[in-house]
Structure 1
């Protein structure tokens, strides 16, 4: 992984880890809204974003208020679901607030998220470092949602790779999910 010298990714726990290729602390100055993305699913794994060709300049812990995490976005594997957020008063979904290098980074990510077919990209309010902000968030489209789905273990590992950005309680919440043991080699190549 190659990051520009100015790259800093910020989180509260990552300083303890040599796994992240960037620095972690609160984003000091917010640039234009178009560059901010909140990840609550597999994109909490910074290496996944890099592999997808996205330029990440900074990141920090954040949460979406009044929503709940669901794995109700159908995946290509029958019975399996990918992360989605649903309205739930008083709920809270933790994740990573990223600042991208360019607007083009969203076009790259839209391709992987299969936007607008599987997910739409919406601007939602969130809280980072105790301050309210707004950022782009992917929301599963109704046509691809189903109840009774479970995440695959390989998929959950991407969420857990963002552990440095999550509270201990939220990390335990993720670890408690019942996952399906499928090998990612078994999934279709288009995902």
Structure 2
């Protein structure tokens, strides 16, 4: 028998991550990983155009609010979407709005992005969930868009209008199809859905 080399192990690990629903997963040379925030920092480190500020304090500030997105905004999004009772949907809808507005209260007041006029690390972290508001939460949960001149409204418009965001956004049909099983809270939907139903942290 031939010994299993490191590339085979890496390939098998990435297949395992994908099988478990842990996406995105990245293979770069002889290294691989599946955790979104870690991947974003890695890509930022090896890129010429940086999303994280270079000043240590500003960088720590961005990391702090990136953590808020992972710990609060993302889980609340799924609780809101998976809730089947109208009362729970209303409760989690308010909580979702609260967590997004908490993020925006820490952002540059003029914006329109988190740190000002340019797309930043925090914007890229939260953009997928903000874009899912009109594409997923509105059709499935009746989410109401904020006023266009509010900080939240201007943030949505800025993200929707950014070329790099538009280039990586799926069409509305795909969003509706992909999230229907979450909206109906079907059994065996994903590891994420199971964790939300069991009151655990996200995998």
Measured against the shorter chain, the TM-score band is under 0.3
Q: What's the TM-score, normalizing by structure 2?
A: 0.24
More helix by share: 2
Which structure has the larger Rg over C-alpha atoms? Answer: 2
Structure 1 or 2: more strand by fraction:
1
Greater relative CO (CA pairs within 8 A, separation 6+): 1
